[in-house]
Chain A
Amino acid sequence: MIGLWSVPLLFALPLALGILSLLVTPAWRPRLIFVGLPLLTLASVDVLARLVLEGPRIYELGGWEAPLGINLVVDGLAVGMILMTTLVASLCALYARVYLRDYPASSSFFWPLLWLLWAGMNGIWLAEDIFNLYVGLEVMGLAAVGMVALRATPQALAAAMRYLLAALLGSLAYLLGVALLYATYGTLSMAGLQEAAAPNATTHVALALIILGLLLKTALFPLHAWLPPAHGGALTPVSALLSALVIKGSFYILMRIWLVLGPEVTPIFTAQLLGVLGAGAVFYGGWMAWRQHHLKQLVAYSTVAQIGYLFLFFPLVTGTGPEAARLAWDGTLMMLVAHALAKAALFLSAGNLILAVGSTQISHLVGISRFRPMSLFSFGLAGVSLMGLPPSGGFTGKWLLLHSAILSDQWWWLIVLFLGGLLSAAYIFKVFRMSFREGPQIDRSITPPLTLDVTALILASASILIGLTAHLPLFWLRLGSAFGAG
């Protein structure tokens, strides 16, 4: 047990730093990242190393056995999400340290919220029982709402309020589902549920409640209305964190619960329905993104669209052969990670472009390619991944999903992937078209600090590189899952 200090550290440390940052003066708050980021990086890498060397395991917090103690699951999926969180959140934090100098009032509360958010996310990735998932979800959700409200403008407050109401409704539906499951099976642990689960009416109702609650939190079309104002209107580093990581939290829970209960308990119809909603999200989100005039709104609607791809997981993994299911798992996770990296990069570089021209309007970007090539380059790299063009994580994910769809004879999902890619190309190139245009509108631009460009570029490059080296992360992610050995 000595060696596993890193597992509890992953959520204890951000929690401690969150409290600590409230105790120190606002000027000191950003500096805590120089303690937090290295330690969290170290802990994440340690967890990965142990996973690879010693295999997946269940970790009993404080040595107490469930149900009184809390079990943590350290498998490939959890570790993969932890690494993704560490990478994206660290870079967003570095970005925020520079970016928030212009927003001193918001800055002082950003840092405690960031640590709280981080603790909540790591809690979700590691939780082994459905109730602790709820706790993690709430911690993350409340921190996220606080972050959206940071800007304190009426629009931001309205967006935060709307987000909060959606989140609360979603959590309660989820909680009621958990209550029903516990009443039926007398256990909260995933492993216990997997053994006990049977297709009966209570389970169906519970699962329906859980799914609905999580769909609302993940902002799947048509429950997405809260997302664009919240993500598009927040401060840039907040937008990046929210779009890249937070929505993945609820999707992750859905994915875990589905794999535990779904295939045995739910009718295939439900899986297809989720896929259809995903397709709706891809089309509607892409279409709306293309119609936006504000850069960050465009990026926010792009998130609505990209969430849709993730939901193709359910029809592709349910009632299909083992090979198709494994490809769907690989593809969805690739999509998920690639989207996290690319969307964070897209928001950060969009923020840089907005800083450079001093306007959020896309039409004001005329000729910006001459002045801010680096911001635009990051935007482009991230865009490549979102469009699903090679070589990128988005492409590799799409490839795997296509493969899975063909293998399972569900050709209609091919059309979704096909048109979705073209739609995303339409809205990404809408920005580029403007940036390449030579016009009289601007003859100079403000140069944002280098850190802002570099963090965006690192994330964007990562979204490309992960596609080329997908072999290894996908192997790790499969450790300890039903798709492992093969």
Chain B
Amino acid sequence: MSGALVFAWSGVLLFGLGLFGFIAHRHLLRRLLAFNIMGSGSFLVLVGLAQDGRGVDPVPHAMVITGIVVAVASTALALVVFRRWYRASGRTDLPEDT
């Protein structure tokens, strides 16, 4: 297994872990963390797989940087909404969540 594939499989593993956390947990903060782990996983896949045999490819790096910006923005928004929700309802999870 080449180095690139190790990165990619780790990425997939992280994504899977994150997905599990995202679905299994009720606490919104945990779900948010899980989301970030999923995000890191997919970035790792991007960077890892793209290195396979083609030398250094700048495009995935550009994409990952964009992706990180998006993830940060999403997390910030989620935190704001979560905080307001917590203040309004006193809960850390969503009601009648299935």
Contacts and interface: CB of A to CB of B under 8 A. Distances in A.
Nearest to A172: B38
A168 B36 CA distance: 10
Contacts of B49: 179-180, 182-183
Interface stretch (A142-150, A269-277, A345-353, A442-450): A142-150
Given A67-B59, A142-B73, A161 B28 contact: yes
Given A168-B74, A180-B49, A186-B54, A158 B42 contact: no
B86 to A, nearest CB: 9
Main SS class of interface, A: helix
Nearest to A153: B88
B81 A154 contact: no
A232 B53 CA distance: 51
Contacts, number: 94
Interface string B3-42: 0000010000001000100100000100100010011011
A162 interface: yes
Contact of B63 (A131, A146, A172, A180): A131
B32 to A, nearest CB: 9
Contacts of B45: 176, 179-180, 183
A158 B85 contact: yes
Contacts of B81: 145, 149, 157, 160-161, 164
B24 to A, nearest CB: 13
**Chain A interface size range:** 20 to 34
Interface in A159-175: 160-162, 164-165, 168-169, 171-172, 175
A287 to B, nearest CB: 19
Contacts of B31: 165
Nearest to A67: B59
A60 interface: no
Nearest to A169: B22
Contacts of A168: 35, 74, 78
B66 to A, nearest CB: 6
A468 interface: no
A483 to B, nearest CB: 31
Interface string B59-80: 1100100110010011001100
A154 B85 contact: yes
A197 interface: no
A323 interface: no
A161 B41 CA distance: 23
B67 A175 contact: yes
A19 interface: no
Contacts of A153: 88
Contacts of B28: 161
Contact of A172 (B35, B57, B89, B97): B35
Nearest to B15: A176
Contact of A161 (B39, B42, B94): B94
Given A172-B35, A179-B42, A161 B73 contact: no
Contact of B42 (A154, A157, A175): A175
Contacts of B88: 152-154, 157
A138 interface: yes
Given A158-B94, A164-B77, A176-B15, A169 B35 contact: yes
Contacts of A169: 19, 22, 35
Contacts of B35: 165, 168-169, 172
Nearest to B83: A157
A135 interface: yes
Contact of A135 (B52, B57, B70, B97): B70
Contacts of B74: 138, 142, 164, 168, 171
Contact of B84 (A68, A131, A157, A183): A157
A164 B75 CA distance: 10
Contacts of A149: 81, 84
A158 B81 CA distance: 9
Interface in A240-265: none
Of A134, A149, A154, the most chain B CB neighbours within 10 A belong to: A154
Given A138-B74, A179-B60, A186-B57, 11 more contacts: A134-B70, A138-B73, A152-B84, A160-B81, A164-B78, A165-B22, A165-B31, A168-B78, A171-B74, A179-B49, A183-B52
16 contacts: A131-B66, A138-B70, A138-B73, A142-B73, A152-B84, A158-B95, A162-B97, A169-B19, A172-B15, A175-B42, A176-B42, A176-B45, A179-B45, A179-B60, A183-B49, A186-B57
Interface of B: 8, 15, 19, 22, 28, 31, 35, 38-39, 41-42, 45-46, 49-50, 52, 54, 57-60, 63, 66-67, 70, 73-74, 77-78, 81-82, 84-85, 88-89, 94-95, 97-98
